[in-house]
Amino acid sequence: MGVDIVIVEDDPMVMELHRQYISQVKGFHLVGQAANAADGYDMIVSVKPRLVILDIYMPGKSGIDLLRRVRAEGINIDVILVTAAHYSETIQQGMQCGVVDYIIKPFTLQRFKKALKSYQQYIDRLNKTQQLCQKDIDCLKGATPGESIPNSLNELKENIPKGLDKATLKAILMIINKQPDYFTTSEIAKLVGISRVTVRRYLNYLTDNGWLKGILSYGPVGRPLHKYTKDDLFCL
């Protein structure tokens, strides 16, 4: 049984990214889309999805306004917020309304897939039993005994996933540390002396773990350019 999804997103380019990414993950079906909170509410009521991919900043009412409305009316949906809003107050508002995940733009395919697959595991575990013990609840929340989020760059370097190299990560981190402002994959690749494809994997890894922030820079023509900057906690 698949998971029906509705997207509420005002940016057509981001909407298309959502569509493409959802199509690459088995078990999820896009059943509706809307470009503002009012149309999003009508779509949710009409098609009754299991999951909503929701932006915050939209014309008229915000995504948080929509989220509060569906919660107040007892509409049974799960929500993943995907937004450029990364202020602690906004994140807290989303969490208070019971979102299952929060993804910062610009996001990677890897992070988006991780959100959907984690949600899929959550649904599978929830459907297996009617009565849950503490261990079951911990698993629903994604907690695994002995697993923790790296709280320093040194810890991050010591626990990198398979396919990444510690020495390469260290070299990239040293170059990033010297950057005064925003930088691109190409700029880091040139300074380190390795390919852009390789550098992008490491930048995505650092972004997914919260040590870099990313933005989409829109030019007059062509595709948007991904730029990165150090998070406030970035410190070697």
| pLDDT, one tens digit for every residue, the chain (236 residues) | 689 999 999 999 889 989 999 998 889 999 999 999 999 999 999 999 999 999 999 989 999 999 999 999 999 999 999 888 777 788 888 888 889 898 888 788 888 888 898 888 888 777 776 666 655 666 665 543 334 445 566 666 667 778 888 889 989 999 998 998 899 999 999 999 999 999 999 998 888 777 888 877 766 666 677 889 887 656 65
N-to-C CA span, the chain:
46
Cα-trace Rg, the chain: 19
User: According to the model, what pLDDT value does residue 172 have?
Assistant: 93
DSSP 101-142: EEEESSPPHHHHHHHHHHHHHHHHHHHH-SS--HHHHHHHTT
pTM of the model: 0.62
What's the token pair of residue 36?
A: 């503002």
What is the C-alpha to C-alpha distance for residues 233 and 218, in angstroms, rounded to an integer? 27
Q: Would you say 106 and 215 are in contact if contact means Cβ atoms under 8 Å apart?
A: yes
CA distances from 68 to 33, 94, 214 (A): 19, 9, 28
User: According to the model, what pLDDT value does residue 130 have?
Assistant: 64
